[in-house]
A and B are shown apart, each in its own frame.
Chain A
Amino acid sequence: MKSVRQHLWSVSIGALFALFVLASIAAGFEPGREMGRNFLTFLVQMLRVLPCVFVVIGLFEVWVKTETVEKHMGHGSGLRSYVWAVLLAGGTVGGLHVGLPIAHALYMKRARLGVVLAFVSSAGICRIPMTLFEASFLGWKFTAVRFGVSLPLVLLTSAAIGHWLERNHYELPDTKRAG
């Protein structure tokens, strides 16, 4: 029931926006036209990355054993699991919209919540190509401070939130984990 309601909400927002843009084009309303153009620009950008992301997720789900992920990123995997999360995140591209589906896939393979959260936030702050870019515009000192302060904080808070939520039996939506 809940998913239907959520769906309705998404569809109506999309439909309203489409109507608004079409009306703007017809009436020559420039802000509406520009929003339509923005929408298209970002849609194209998404469609260039997302299919790859989802194909890789599909392959990951089929080929990578749950036990492997559980061993390295699950309960009892120790601190090294967070190193894995950061390294994986460093290799991703795009930002939250790419990090989130991957995080979800990791969780389905029994990575623990804290590690999944650490992955999502690290995918924001320490993607390698982006960091190089940042340093070239703002200097290494800036990047070093940002990295040195944000990464430990992200790891600590992710671990704490994950621990706390799991103790309260929180589960991500749409995850029927086998066994």
Chain B
Amino acid sequence: MQTIYILTAVLLVLSLFASRTRTVQALRIALRRFMKIAPAFVVMLVFVAVALYLLPEQAMLRMLAPESRWAAVGTAVSVGSVSVMPGFIAFPLCGVLLERGALYMVLSAFSTTLMMVGVVTFPVERTYLGARLALIRNVTSILIALVVALATGLVFGELL
């Protein structure tokens, strides 16, 4: 986290030395772009806030437990798609799930969709990519996550 601040500061100072007007211009662009996307971010945050309430960690633990492995993979894909959480929460959670007997393929479906598919980030993605492309990208990502889950299942001997 700190690295980002330092990196940004260094770049900014270098830019300032190189040209004052261009740096001011860059900051103007930064502000303008930020303001433009801000509404979409607010919508996304509202979705995140609601999703997080509806799907607390305890509920996830229950849902991803292996009753039927296919049901668990399906649930993992859906939960992973609608949740947003940083890696430093997601992977320890996966670790806990693993200890409680979750299958590797379920965790793989969960973590891959979590990282690649964004239902709640859709308002932001739509603004940048357009609704059609955002949809295509997310659907493709879900399919990829399923393939990854299958491969994981094969490698860890959970399929046969």
Contact = CB atoms under 8 A, between A and B. Distances in A.
Interface of A: 6-7, 9-11, 13-14, 17, 31, 34-36, 38-39, 42-43, 45-46, 48-52, 54-59, 61-63, 93-97, 100-101, 103-104, 117, 120-121, 124-125, 127, 129-130, 133-134, 136-138, 141-142, 145-146, 149-150, 153-154, 157, 161, 165, 170, 172-174
Given A10-B39, A103-B128, A59 B144 contact: no
Contacts of A48: 1
B88 interface: yes
Contacts of B145: 150
A142 B152 contact: yes
Given A54-B30, A63-B15, A121-B141, 16 more contacts: A10-B43, A17-B49, A45-B86, A46-B41, A55-B12, A62-B23, A62-B26, A100-B121, A100-B129, A104-B128, A130-B87, A137-B98, A138-B95, A138-B104, A146-B108, A161-B137
Task: Give the size range of B's interface with the partner.
Answer: 35 or more
Nearest to A103: B128
Contacts of A173: 127-130
B71 interface: no
Q: Is the interface of B mostly helix, strand, loop or mixed?
A: helix
A35 B50 contact: yes
A55 B26 contact: yes
Contacts of A154: 116, 141, 144
Given A10-B39, A51-B34, A96 B118 contact: yes
Contacts of A97: 41, 44, 121, 124
Given A138-B91, A145-B152, A154-B144, A42 B11 contact: no
A142 B108 contact: yes
B10 to A, nearest CB: 11
Contacts of A149: 147-148, 151-152
Nearest to A142: B104
